[in-house]
Amino acid sequence: DQQVKQNSPSLSVQEGRISILNCDYTNSMFDYFLWYKKYPAEGPTFLISISSIKDKNEDGRFTVFLNKSAKHLSLHIVPSQPGDSAVYFCAAGGGASKIIFGSGTRLSIRP
């Protein structure tokens, strides 16, 4: 039973445009959410997070939106750059529980 779902395995976006990566979760006990970015042959690196008390968190070109009623979060990257091409993992956690990761979305930025 997947508690964190990324339904799009891949996404292709033109350089300079907005990239939107989506994530759904089922466990209403989750109260913080994270996005990780992973390049091939490297470990995931933390990108941005959001607490359930907020509905938006912004860091430079990256913004995460949280819709608690829909149990949905999204990552917006604008403008998209070639270096953004990577696999993006959505993750969620609650209290002292371990973090649950989604299956990942491969983002490709085309020139």
Binding site for other proteins (CB under 8 A): 6, 9, 32, 34, 36, 38, 41-46, 49, 89, 91, 93, 95-99, 101-104
Q: How far is Cα 35 from Cα 47, in angstroms, rounded to an integer?
A: 5
Q: How far is Cα 102 from Cα 79, in angstroms, rounded to an integer?
A: 24
Place of tokens 């990256």: 62
Looking at the Cβ atoms of 85 and 93, the one nearer to other proteins is 93
Q: Residue 103 carries which side chain, given as an amino acid letter?
A: S
The distance of closest approach from Cβ of residue 23 to other proteins in the complex, given in angstroms and rounded to an integer, is 11
Looking at the Cβ atoms of 36 and 63, the one nearer to other proteins is 36
Looking at the Cβ atoms of 41 and 111, the one nearer to other proteins is 41
Element (H or E) spanning 6, and its range?
none
